[in-house]
Structure 1
Amino acid sequence: MSWFARLRGRRQEPDVPVAPPAPTTAEILASAHQVEQQIAGKVPAAVTARVLRITRTVDDMAPRLDRLGAGSRQAHTVVATATSYLPEAVGGYLRLPRDFADRRVVSKGKTSLMVLCDQLDLLGVTLDKISDAVSREDANALVAHGAFLAEKFGGSSLALAPEAGLDTPQVELP
């Protein structure tokens, strides 16, 4: 606030930092698919297969992120994978000369290609666990609804056998 404004008795509200809005589903999907476009014809098949696995899971998960709850670690992991982790991993690999990246050992007996594949495998497994947890919750809701209907409208094949119940495991993130 200026000295003149203070003199006149005017108070200025302090600036409150505003967090950027969360990316939309379209932005999340576009980020993941941009990586697909970046690698087209530039990487070995092993990298392409892993990136496609990740982008398919992001395609499946992005519209369902609201089921994970606001501020959930799992939702954050899906968004960060599509918008940051995947593009950064692949971008680092693409900046290297192909011969160096694919043949020169850089860490613990591994080439940059092998390091990238390890990173993509970790991202893929993590997203698969999150996707499975969300799908299990949806399946549990379906089973519970069937039990409700069976109880409300009479016994049928909708009644649950004790061993038919699904358990929702907690997903541990690295």
Structure 2
Amino acid sequence: MEAIAWIVHPAAGMALVLFASVLFSGRGRQWEAVAFASALLLLLAVLGASWDVHPAAGMLLGYFGSAAYGNWQKRWPALLAALVASGLFMLGGAGWMIYPLAIMGLIWLFAAAASFIGRSEKSFESGQTPAELPEHAGGFSFGSLLGQKGFGEKEKEAVPVSPGKVPLAKAAAPAETDQYTDWMRDSRLPGEARAQLIALNLRTKEALKHLHELGQQGSEAEYLSRAIREEYVPTAVNAYLKLPRTRADTAPIQDGKTGRDLLRGQLDLLLDAVQDILDTTLAAGGREMLTHQRFLQDRFGKSAEAGKADDLKV
């Protein structure tokens, strides 16, 4: 017996370490791990290390305090296994555990009841019936029914609408957000790419507005500016965003260039193209100003010189 006791007590200490590592780690969500660690301690208590149920009971109280008041629905099998182990530990000598465990149980019940009442009051105050709730929340959408074939105008007029409420079938769709604004806020894109997208957004808008003022709608420059803004830039950005996040900026794709390098290069090319369009329109506007200046010089320059000559004669 002494030999067994010499082995059981150190084993109980190691079992307590194992028990703590199970409860306060990811394995605390697995009921099998909790049950195995608890059963090992109970076995050692039966063999002579009856003292181990007391520290194990304290660990279980800490486990309940950290796991039972959060998202307990996903770990209820492990909590149930820990509760059964608590009963066995109390039978093994840790009867004092019943008082803090009962208090924690009452607190949990009050918290659950308060949460349930709060959700009920919120639903009641909102005045929404199941037919008015969004489809993803279990509601029924008249809009989907109105879009089906065979639902005629008479049936559409017969859809009941509560006073003061907008018919679901006619509810205005939310305005589309500018994709350039979304990209500027997208943390998946590198910082330099977002800076390039800001520049492209401003320059393509400027080019389109300037070409419109010049009356060049439908011109090749206008078509190219719109294609850069609405087709070429989105294609480059979306291709980058489809790459795996952990490899997009580190794994080479071609000639040692990563997805980040390729995106930066493509956006640089598009920035240069837009700048060329702006330079071309600037040159065209400059030629128009020079032509007008020559006209003014030819029209009024000689008259001014003749007037000066007459003044000298006088």
Give the alignment's TM-score, normalised by structure 1. Answer: 0.64
* Aligned-partner Cα distance in 1 for 2:246–2:279: 38
Structure 1 runs not aligned, ≥5 long: 1-29, 156-174
Which structure carries more helix by proportion? 2
1:66-85 paired onto structure 2 within 5 Å: 66=212, 67=214, 69=216, 71-85=218-232
* Aligned-partner Cα distance in 1 for 2:258–2:215: 36
Three-state SS of the structure 2 residue aligned to 1:83 is helix
* Aligned-partner Cα distance in 2 for 1:140–1:107: 44
Q: CA RMSD in A?
A: 2.3
Three-state SS of the structure 1 residue aligned to 2:248 is helix
Aligned residue for 1:49?
195
**Structure 1 residue 70: Cα displacement:** 5.1
Q: Does 1:115 pair with 2:262?
A: yes
The equivalent position to 1:34 in structure 2, one of 179, 190, 201, is: 179
Three-state SS of the structure 2 residue aligned to 1:97 is coil
Specify the code of the residue in structure 2 equivalent to 1:34: Q
Q: Does 1:125 pair with 2:272?
A: yes
Larger Rg: 2
* Aligned-partner Cα distance in 1 for 2:301–2:232: 51
* Aligned-partner Cα distance in 2 for 1:68–1:57: 18
**1:7-32 Cα distance to aligned partner (Å, 9 max, x none):** xxxxxxxxxxxxxxxxxxxxxxx99x
The equivalent position to 1:98 in structure 2, one of 245, 248, 256, is: 245
Count of paired positions: 126
Cα distance change of structure 1 residues 83 and 141 upon mapping to structure 2, 3 Å threshold: same
Aligned residue for 1:87?
234
Cα distance change of structure 1 residues 104 and 114 upon mapping to structure 2, 3 Å threshold: same
Q: Does 1:146 pair with 2:293?
A: yes
* Aligned-partner Cα distance in 2 for 1:68–1:88: 29
The equivalent position to 2:209 in structure 1, one of 58, 63, 74, is: 63
Q: Percent identity?
A: 27
Give the alignment's TM-score, normalised by structure 2. Answer: 0.37
* Aligned-partner Cα distance in 2 for 1:68–1:123: 24
Structure 2 runs not aligned, ≥5 long: 1-175, 303-314
Contact 1:74 1:130 in 2 (8 A): yes
* Aligned-partner Cα distance in 2 for 1:79–1:122: 15
**Structure 1 residue 68: Cα displacement:** 7.5
Contact 1:35 1:90 in 2 (8 A): no
Cα distance change of structure 1 residues 52 and 62 upon mapping to structure 2, 3 Å threshold: same
**Structure 1 residue 72: Cα displacement:** 3.1
Specify the code of the residue in structure 1 equivalent to 2:231: S
* Aligned-partner Cα distance in 1 for 2:179–2:255: 31
Specify the code of the residue in structure 1 equivalent to 2:211: L
* Aligned-partner Cα distance in 2 for 1:93–1:127: 21
Contact 2:207 2:278 in 1 (8 A): yes
